[in-house]
Amino acid sequence: MSGQGTVVGADGLARCPWGLEAESMADYRVYHDTEWGRAVRGDDALYERICLEAFQSGLSWLTILRRREGFRAAFADFRIKAVAEFTEADEQRLLADPGIIRNRAKITATIGNARAAAELAEGELEELIWSFAPDPATRPVPRTFADVPAITPESTALSRELKKRGFRFVGPTTAYALMQACGLVNDHLADCHVRDLVGQSGSGASPQVSGP
């Protein structure tokens, strides 16, 4: 898939290749068409994306996507103030929850990231993340998946800043996946029917998908 351009589906619409999977992966198609690359605003919504991108590390995004409601239920809808108050008992509860990925390091990081976010003023997390959005005019429009980077100078800088604030599981690749998913960059391919729509969207409520 690395060098593949857009693919036209049975509905006649051209999509990024990862957005046109087998019917068993129709969740990807819906996510591609309605969420990925659309602007996400709000501290809690962005905190959720940070957490889900961290859980996705080393796994298929589809694994996370299909457990998203389980994650929301387990982590108090990703409300920063609520998760920041989780206790050892909550951590043990999460480790036993089949609705999420039961990885101790990622669970601990999610709670720790809530505490780091809670140290910021209201709106500061959103302002911090969006301050690393590059000027669209400086970015070439990708025509194939080979044109889409895995990291950029901006994602490296964002990763560094989040780590300085106490966030974990936010390396440059994860930071770039966050930027893609939350609309800081538009990595829909040139001929993808969604590309010209993403700038018209408002906040999403959830989640690389770094393009699988």
Q: Which residues does the annotation mark as catalytic?
A: 31, 53, 61
Phi, psi (5° rounding) for residue 188? -65, 140
Residue pair 161/128 in contact (Cβ under 8 Å)? The answer is: yes
For residue 139, the Cα-to-chain-centroid distance in whole angstroms is 20
**Contact predicate 163/17, CB 8 Å:** no
Return the ∠ at Cα 96 (arms to 95 and 98), rounded to 5°. 105
C-alpha span between 204 and 37 (Å, rounded): 9
- Backbone phi and psi for residue 64, each to the nearest 5 degrees, phi listed first: -75, -45
What distance in Å separates the CA atoms of residue 99 and residue 74, rounded to the nearest whole number? 8
CA 139 – CA 141 distance, rounded (Å): 6
Please work out, in degrees rounded to the nearest 5, the angle formed at the alpha carbon of residue 210 by the alpha carbons of 24 and 125. Answer: 125
